[in-house]
Structure 1
Amino acid sequence: MRLTTVARMELAAGQVHVFEPTVASTPGEGTGGSTPSFDQSRHAAAGSRPGSWMAVAFAVPPVGRGRLAEAWRRVVQRHGTLRSVLRHDGAQARVHPVEVTGGRWVRAGDGVSDPRTVLRGVFDAACEPFGSPSHRLAVVDHGDGTCTAVIGLDHSHTDAWSLLVLVRDMLAALEHEDELAPVPSFAEHTRALEDLPPAPDEIRARWTRVMETRDGEMPVFPLSLGDISEPRDEVVEVIDVLDAEGVARLEDVAARRGVRLLPLAVSVLTQVNRDMHAGALCAVFPVHSRRGPADDPARWADSVGWFITNSVLECDSTEPLDCDAAVRDAIALGAYPLEPLLRPWGGMPNTPGMFAVSWLDNRRLPVQVPSAARPQHVSAWIRTDGVMAWFVLNDDGMHLRVRYPGTPSAVANVGEWARRVATGLRAVSSDDTVLVGEDHDLSPVA
């Protein structure tokens, strides 16, 4: 079972209880901490704020809150990432290990208010970059005797893959009383990246071209978003593009074209841009960084953290094989630590109107969750000045989720772009004469 993607969480009424943990400094831990990752540093630089979290909701057996707390304790002990916090160190943020020493259940809300609203308030306050810790376990007790667990974390400590890992581990801890084996932490991953050799000259030259072409800015959505001089209330749309049979047909078309599913989809995106007189496709393209060393390629597969790096996807052709080459170029561009590559431009700029395209094929993740758990991705409500498009593939089909600023121009232009993309993908899935492709290395992004 994979994460469900909806515009807003579907959660029945009920009383919310939140496990409020207590923490202490790790014995023997120095005061300096460790360097955060490139993305953690950018995330923390925006400061404490609501809406910086991600969460996952899933069904749990009505076992009592004491047992839930004990299961959560073992999950926290398994993941060093859940025992780390970001702290201010002058102008910089540092990662410090902590010990979660206990906690208590606290009633949240009145049991009548919408639990989604209650949880949003809890996570906005607790799951922020400098929370200590910046995660919370909550449970919603429904009137029919069923229970829903919701785990929220500040984005600095998680990505979509990690959410499924937490669901799987929490259910395993509820089923068995044994301690869960520890896994490498995200802080170890950050240190491992620091030890990598510099990126090849070819990659540096390509990043230089990408940045200088746009005067040091990131790619932006190619149509007007209206007045985005300041972030606007978000609009989120989820389009059910294809059912499972439709995705299978699309995969057949891609195979006949000699590509995977993602390059075929890129072909559609490029065609839509042409049809809307929006130029070539150019977007920030997140890819995962969970590739382990040659002797342990799955080293980070069971870890929790923000295992994401950013690349740029550029394509001006609708030929699937050309699109496949563009995807491979983007993956290569994101295969090296970004901080030294983007240092000449002061890091990754926060460009108003920034456009990002994410590809998440949940079917290919090495994380299995029982279907009875009905895992559901929960997004925070934010204000934004950019456009994010997520293509999400589950066992039930393909979904396109788009988030953009709520201006009239953005509603019109992004909405039309998304509808045309969905229509194009459906057309290709039903007519293999239309030339309009996923790479097994691509994994979820937030």
Structure 2
Amino acid sequence: MAHRYREPVLLTTLANLRIPAGRLRRWSATAVGEGAPHPVGPSENERFHLEAVRAGGSGWLAVTVEIRTAAIDPDRLVAAFRAVVDHHEVLRSHFVLDVDGIPHRRLHRRGDISLRPVGTVHALDERGIRDELAEAVAGCTALSPASHLLAVVEHGDTCTVVCAFDHCYVDAHSLAVVAEDLVAAYGGEALPPAGSFLDHLVGTAVTEPGDDDPGVRGWADFLAATDHTVPEYPVDLGVTPGEFAPSRIHVAEVLTRAEADAHTESGTRRRVRTYPMLLTALAQATRDHGGPDRLPVVLPIHTRTDGDSSRSVGWCVANAPVVIDAGPVVGDDPERVLRAATVAVADALPLAAVDLTTVYGRFGHLLRKPRHDVFMVSYLDYRRFTRLPSLHARHISSDGRADDLQLWFWRDDDGISVRARFPDTAVAASLVTSVVDDLVARARAAVPAASDAAAAPV
């Protein structure tokens, strides 16, 4: 089954990015001085990320947006980018390592970050644009002040703007905020209030929980159920433990808007939610391809609340573990299986309040982690971003390397799509494509007909 890329929001990688040939301009950011020491140290995500990058991993994220003009106003664009950096203080921070290799945060003041042109404006074909961007984004690092990238490609009657940052500063939600804020600032608009990521870190800091904490007990139960093995995809991807392959992606449409809406609208009555339904479809597709009946997986969970924090930029993600039961192959009520998954996910979400440092501290002597990557499945609803659909926004991840499968589901005004990232082996390419086809078929089968939804039990 062939699946198309979905617009306007697309999760992709630089190797798969398509920007038409055009005139490329780019800038690099510079900072005044070294910044002032800041009392908020690295978050757990930031610390793990810095360690992974120092071990050879890649570590940037980027977003592209389309501005409908034949020629960009470079001064306005630079001013807009500086306004975004001033608005979100984490983008003015960086880390320095002490003699023991411990990272400490420094923060620049508003107005301390400036941009300078890099090279000359020149025409490039699609491959040349990707090559130059690849070289430029490699310099994005949280261990250097203001290492962000700003670029634009002028082609036809539109311009593609590219912003890139070290992953320490942004998650997928952040990229959507940056996209909307940049276009708003370019148009001369005031930026909406935004929560502070650094304040968020202070507000979410908690005393390490005791052994009787419900979250700690939940993690203990999960790890006991998985023989204390960090989740890995349970079907062979053609990479032995300890080895890597270049990463590859596969993007597919899962549900059309009408199908997604039909599932959501009947959800309360059916006691079924969308994310658990997708996880169930994945568990069943995995079982169809030789996997187990129960699928352990980690769910990245956003820690933003309503209000100004919804416009915050930063890596606001925690982790919740869950085991999804695929249910019997035959002879059971499919709705019961979906309701059980909905309960399992709801029960798992509070476990995200227990940070991984605590998990490793309590259970590290028992843990087995066969892979570098962790089998994770994310879900992000872009419909909360009102301006985004008109910007042709694309979230770009570094290509890097992979040794396990990771999936990102996203919902926008057109429906639900999925991006699968996996090691580029012949075994994995064939398997993942087939698993996604199966997942899509099962998700569509889970959408109730109008009469079925109306008759579903309360």
TM range (shorter): 0.7 to 0.9
CA drift at 1:189: 1.6
**How far apart in 2 are the matches of 1:41 and 1:215?**
27
The answer for the alignment partner of 2:63 in structure 1 is 56
**How far apart in 2 are the matches of 1:221 and 1:46?**
20
Residues 233-292 of structure 1: per-residue CA shift (max 9 Å, x gap) = 11210111222122223334544422221222233233323333411021111001113x
**How far apart in 2 are the matches of 1:256 and 1:389?**
28
Q: Is the counterpart of residue 187 in structure 1 residue 198 in structure 2? A: yes
* 1:46 counterpart (25, 36, 52): 52
CA drift at 1:166: 0.8
The answer for the alignment partner of 1:314 in structure 2 is 323
Q: Is the counterpart of residue 16 in structure 1 residue 28 in structure 2? A: no
Confirm or deny: 8 A CA contact 1:59 1:374 kept in the other structure. yes
**How far apart in 2 are the matches of 1:262 and 1:227?**
29
Confirm or deny: 8 A CA contact 2:12 2:397 kept in the other structure. no
Q: Is the counterpart of residue 83 in structure 1 residue 103 in structure 2? A: no
CA drift at 1:91: 2.4
Sequence identity percentage: 27
Q: List runs of 5+ in structure 2 lacking aligned partners.
A: 1-6, 328-336, 454-458
Matches within 5 A, 1:25-424: 25=33, 29-30=36-37, 34-48=40-54, 51-60=58-67, 61=69, 62-89=71-98, 90-99=100-109, 100-107=112-119, 110-114=122-126, 115-124=129-138, 126-142=139-155, 144-176=156-188, 180=191, 183-195=194-206, 198=209, 201-214=213-226, 216-228=228-240, 229-252=242-265, 254-279=267-292, 280-291=294-305, 297-316=306-325, 318=327, 319-346=337-364, 351-352=370-371, 354-363=374-383, 365=384, 367-369=385-387, 371-424=389-442
Confirm or deny: 8 A CA contact 2:239 2:403 kept in the other structure. no
CA drift at 1:398: 1.4
The answer for the alignment partner of 1:440 in structure 2 is none
**How far apart in 2 are the matches of 1:331 and 1:2?**
29
RMSD of the alignment, in Å?
A: 2.8
Change (3 A) 1:211 1:109: farther
Matched to 2:440, the amino acid is A
**How far apart in 2 are the matches of 1:22 and 1:65?**
17
Change (3 A) 1:163 1:101: closer
**TM-score (structure 2 length as normaliser):** 0.84
Change (3 A) 1:245 1:184: closer
**How far apart in 1 are the matches of 2:281 and 2:148?**
39
Change (3 A) 1:153 1:213: same
Q: Secondary structure of 1:157's match?
A: coil
CA drift at 1:214: 4.2
Change (3 A) 1:327 1:309: same
Matched to 1:301, the amino acid is S
Residues 355-394 of structure 1: per-residue CA shift (max 9 Å, x gap) = 111112222x3x3215432111222211111110111111
CA drift at 1:310: 1.1
Change (3 A) 1:379 1:315: same
CA drift at 1:59: 1.4
CA drift at 1:151: 0.7
Q: List runs of 5+ in structure 1 lacking aligned partners.
A: 292-296, 436-446
The answer for the alignment partner of 2:333 in structure 1 is none
**TM-score (structure 1 length as normaliser):** 0.86
Change (3 A) 1:246 1:101: closer
Matched to 1:417, the amino acid is V
